[in-house]
Amino acid sequence: MRSTILFQDGNWQKIVLKHGEAMWLKVKDKFKVYSGLQEHRFQAFVISTMQRLFRAWKARFSRLYSKYNTNEERLSHRPEDVELKDWKYLINILEVRILRSFAEVEETTRNPITGKIDTPNKVWEIQHTHKDDRGELVWVDSQSQQIHGQLQEVVAQQQSKEIEHPMTRDEILSTVLGERTGYVRGKGYGKKPPKKSNTQQANIESSVSSAIKIVHQKMQAEMDRKLQEEREQMAAELKRNMELELQRQLAEERELANAKVGKRIHLEVDKRMHEQFASFVIRMQQQ
């Protein structure tokens, strides 16, 4: 699959339309596939398995994107199984998606009367959570929940009456999420990152960044381990199902062959019995 498709081809439906037949032929080259209804069922199973692997593959790149602060770092850490042109395309897609989504969610919280918008931690919560079947709030991942906790802590500190000059929304975002050249996270390009205006802000940024780095390293190691287990499980499942399918087909063929052999033996026995009976009758007549 990885040697055939590109992220530039679009979503999975478009990829299947463009490369589905080629990927299926590669599977048929490696495994014995019988024609008929069984082939169609097996093909559907293979395509479904490839879709799950594609999602896991893309999720791994999304986590790799978040690991670095600049596009230069991301380009220098390009995965070996992705072409440079396709990696640049994926970086651009992920970057635009992150920038637009936060700004769009932020705008939806604006009070139509006062014009005020929610604090960064509340906007982050709306962006990175959803409700499950029981109506309970669920985070999209543990990393987003951790960042929300850091945002919430900084917002609470800045709302304290003891702070004479609290940080702006942009400064809070940059403190927790970090700065990138040319834009503030969540605000888009063209907006200069805020300058560090006081020692307290610098201290907060240092402590928060250090904590996030430690947590991120642990989470990254855990996610990589789980992803590797998922890939191995999917590969084992695909191999197991293929082997079961082949065993079932061989059993059917064996049963059919046994039935044919049994029928042939039965006919041969009947023939010999008729011949012996005819010979016996002739001998009796001659006596």
Domain residues of the chain, as ranges? 1-99, 105-186
Cα 42 to the chain's mean position, in Å? 22
pLDDT at position 244: 87
157-167 in b/e burial notation, b at 16+ Cβ within 10 A? ebeeeeeeeeb
pLDDT at position 184: 46
The mean pLDDT of 200-221, rounded to a whole number, is 66
Res 186 pLDDT > 50: no
Contact between residue 63 and residue 223 where contact means Cβ atoms under 8 Å apart = yes
Kindly report each contact of residues 280-285 with a partner whose C-beta sits within 8 Å and lies 24 or more positions away, as own/partner. none
If you average pLDDT over every residue of the chain, what do you get? Answer: 75
96: helix, strand or coil: helix
Amino acid of residue 233: Q
Q: 1 or 34: whose pLDDT is higher?
A: 34
**Model confidence over 246-278: pLDDT tens digits?**
888 888 888 888 888 778 887 887 788 778 777
What's the Cα-to-Cα distance from 159 to each of 163, 217, 260, rounded to whole Å?
8, 30, 86
Which of 168, 208, 209, 206 lies closest to 186 in space, CA to CA? 168
Res 34 pLDDT > 70: no
The Cα–Cα gap between 231 and 237 comes to 10
Q: 192 or 277: whose pLDDT is higher?
A: 277
Task: State what percent of residues in the chain have pLDDT above 90.
Answer: 2
Which of 198, 195, 194, 191 lies closest to 166 in space, CA to CA? 198
